[in-house]
Structure 1
Amino acid sequence: MCAFVLVAEDDVKQAELLRRYLRHEAHSVLVVHDGREAVDQAKLRQPDLLVLDVMMPGIDGFDVVRALRRDSDVPVLVVTARSTAEDKLTGFDLGADDYVTKPYDPRELMARVRSLLRRAGPAGHRSVLPLCIGALVLDQVRHTVRVHGRPIDCTPAEFRILEALLAEPGRVLSRRQLLNRAHGEDTFVTERTADTHLKNLRRKIEADPRRPQYLHTVYGVGYKIADGG
């Protein structure tokens, strides 16, 4: 069962671990790092599951659950180091569906994810809104890309790279991260291939590829997407 999972976790290493395990089971993943963004993205994207840390900047995970339960029934799996009985009861009373304490066995976590998704019903029953930055729109359901309404012909690898960047605007992804997304972790391609993909994408979506509005190079690190309009 493939699903769209929103991960709210301020610890970058923990977030990457969660992303890796979820993607291994073919789920689409969006990671955010603070509570306010978790609420905003949950309301905007309507995920099939929210994996939520409690101790985050902005507002904490309990406040996130409280805000979402006013008008959303998204399944919420709390993953946190706060393990007291009082904390667990607070989470459940506010509307969390399950609670896992750190450190956790990733196999148990994935089993709980599968259980929650089965209980919620078929994945994709919630509308998945397109990923948008300015006039650049990527529709994950229809598998299309448009700029100012103009359709863009992307290869499958280019689409997956653009999807990864659009899912986390402003975040820098390394060439290897982008290649793993485009070609899979078990496929050997050189990091120069990422430069080729980005060059082709710029040619297709940028008004002036030499002065990119969307796809930005972070020298020595990788690439990011930003709203230049």
Structure 2
Amino acid sequence: MTQAPLVTILDDEPAIRTMLADALEEAGFRTLGFARATEFEAALKTATPDVCLVDLSLPDRDGLTLVHRLALEQGATVIIISGRAQVQDRVTGLELGADDYIIKPFDPAEVVARIRARLRREKPTTQTGNTARFNGWTAHFDSYMLEDETGTPTPFSHAEGEVLRLFLERPKRLISRAVMQETLGGAAGDSFDRAMDVRISRLRTKLKEDPKNPRLIKTIYGAGYIFLGDVNWT
């Protein structure tokens, strides 16, 4: 029998951990709760979460630094839950690799709904697999790794992987901002647009693109993006 998805909850407030755990377990998820980043990081050596809920205001570690490391090293979806409501905090969290940002106070039902939506989007489509080859590159979506022609690996974050998969599944087709927002989720607006710009910029860097004249990910000003590579999925 397939196990239910595991959600880790990192928040130093016991009431919030309990509230989220109760709502998630009632919805059929497994949960593990942690008050400190050190406890959470130790648990990651033996546990493989599907979703990490991370508060930014932790007593022993900067939450944004932890989010960035999780995004690069773990295959889990990372959702920030924070009382920091400023636009810049949300933008920074998304730029560092978070998949979503939920502001306190929140309705636990909304958190459950967002987690379910994220997990639905992560399921591979019937048309594609977990490995794509294009223009001398190989993208491994099961290990979040890019390989060049020499086999040199470069990691990419979960959030960057979502954007890369979107491009590779729709080569040589215009992808508008509206399509990106609908497919990847998140509230439309300046923070979403800026987060997408940052992720695309990082992907171009990892693909060794000339920022002034990229060969693969072309910007169509006022319309969106086109991925110009030839893609083979396995």
TM-score of the aligned structures, taking structure 2 as reference length: 0.49
Cα pair distance change 1:81/1:46, threshold 3 Å: same
Give the stretch that moved more between structures: 92-101 or 44-53.
44-53
Look up the equivalent residue of 1:71 and give its one-letter code.
E
Cα pair distance change 1:55/1:93, threshold 3 Å: same
Matching residue within 91, 101, 104 for 1:102:
104
CA distance in 2, matches of 1:31, 1:101: 19
In 2, are the aligned partners of 1:53 and 1:79 still within 8 Å (CA)? yes
CA distance in 2, matches of 1:42, 1:119: 23
Alignment root-mean-square deviation, CA: 1.9
In 1, are the aligned partners of 2:68 and 2:98 still within 8 Å (CA)? no
Q: Within the alignment, does 1:84 sit opposite 2:86 as a pair? A: yes
CA distance in 2, matches of 1:121, 1:40: 28
Look up the equivalent residue of 1:32 and give its one-letter code.
F
Deviation at 1:121, TM superposition (A): 2.6
CA distance in 2, matches of 1:104, 1:69: 23
CA distance in 2, matches of 1:64, 1:41: 14
In 1, are the aligned partners of 2:50 and 2:75 still within 8 Å (CA)? no
Deviation at 1:118, TM superposition (A): 1.3
User: What SS does structure 2 have at the residue aligned with 1:104?
Assistant: coil
CA distance in 1, matches of 2:38, 2:121: 27
In 1, are the aligned partners of 2:70 and 2:78 still within 8 Å (CA)? no
Pairs aligned (count): 123
Q: Which residue of 1 aligns with 2:36?
A: 34
Moved over 4 A (4+): none
Identity of matched residues, %: 31
Look up the equivalent residue of 1:94 and give its one-letter code.
L
In 2, are the aligned partners of 1:6 and 1:42 still within 8 Å (CA)? no
5+ residue gaps in structure 2? Answer: 125-141, 143-234
Matching residue within 44, 47, 53 for 1:45:
47
CA distance in 2, matches of 1:27, 1:77: 16
Q: Which residue of 1 aligns with 2:23?
A: 21
Look up the equivalent residue of 2:67 and give its one-letter code.
V
Alignment of 1:50-89 (within 5 A): 50-89=52-91
Deviations 1:111-132 (A, max 9, x none): 101111212338xxx9xxxxxx
Deviation at 1:43, TM superposition (A): 4.4
Matching residue within 9, 12, 15 for 1:10:
12
